[in-house]
Amino acid sequence: MRLFDTHAHLHFPDYAEDLDAVLGRARAAGVRGMVTIGTDRDTNRAVTALASRVPDVWATVGIHPHDAAEATEADFEEMERLAGEEPKVVGFGEMGLDFFRNLSPPDVQRQVFRRQIDIARRARKPLVVHCRDAHAETLAILAEERAGETGGVMHCFSGDVEIARRCLDLGLYISLAGPVTYKNARALPEVARFVPEDRLVVETDCPYLPPTPHRGKRNEPAFVALTAALIAELRSADAERLCDALTANAATLFRITLT
Ligand SMILES: [Zn+2]
Ligand SMILES: [Zn+2]
């Protein structure tokens, strides 16, 4: 079984005590690669350092909408520099809009999102988009800023089939996380059946959102196997073949060569 976790936060303090064991369990479960995702200035530095140290971990640098209000000009310049100089930095994000928690004012979120799409487009690296309770506006900004030119992924997809269709039209991949395994998965099982096989990827978003039966615990990349297995079941697909395809998609998305 070949798996790829397209969205993890392995640099978080949650793993400070046992990261090597977490990575070991991921490899034992078949995870061939993981992308650890930056969210602000400090974590952008942490993800870059981690990815340069661990061969099967890659990184993206970005400003999360929650952190948008704190972002400075120097942070954007540093992101651009890291992506230019560090070969393991394979994309930008997470970036986007989160109107569920509104930890940064919506106007600042919009501005910081647009700015990062522009940086990614100039650097020709894919976007990792976070979107919560803001689908219409996120899609409008992605279209206006010509995100299709860089490509990217709608991470931890939480919309319905119609929103998935619009993301696909913009040229984005759809990434499903633990919530597709939940009893209250809403439209996600239908989305898991709908997305064409060559546009789908999986993620954990660990330490958050562990798939069933690990809800309430800390999530980790090994658990991406459970999400992938459920998606295979929903699609009536052979699990091993589907996991190979999802892994190849992740490599294409982030322009990574897996050995
Ligand atoms: Zn997110
Ligand atoms: Zn995340």
For residues 199 and 174, the answer to whether their CB atoms sit within 8 Å is: yes
Going from the Cα of 164 to the center of ligand 1, the distance in angstroms, rounded, reads: 17
Ligand having the closest approach to the CA of 100: 1
Residues 179-222: tens digit of each pLDDT:
999 999 999 999 999 999 999 999 999 999 999 999 999 999 99
pLDDT (average), residues 131-141: 97
Ligand having the closest approach to the CA of 155: 1
Residues 43-94: tens digit of each pLDDT:
999 999 999 999 999 999 999 999 999 999 999 999 999 999 999 999 999 9
Going from the Cα of 259 to the center of ligand 2, the distance in angstroms, rounded, reads: 26
Going from the Cα of 156 to the center of ligand 1, the distance in angstroms, rounded, reads: 7
Residues 143-178: tens digit of each pLDDT:
999 999 999 999 999 999 999 999 999 999 999 999
pLDDT exceeds cutoff 90 at 259: no
Q: Quote the DSSP letter at residue 210.
A: P
Going from the Cα of 10 to the center of ligand 1, the distance in angstroms, rounded, reads: 14
- Which residue from 252, 198, 201 is spatially nearest to 231, judged by alpha carbons? 201
User: Hey, is 182 helix, strand or coil?
Assistant: coil
User: Hey, is 157 helix, strand or coil?
Assistant: coil
**H helix intervals, the chain:** 19-28, 41-53, 73-85, 106-123, 135-144, 161-169, 188-194, 224-234, 239-254
Going from the Cα of 38 to the center of ligand 2, the distance in angstroms, rounded, reads: 8
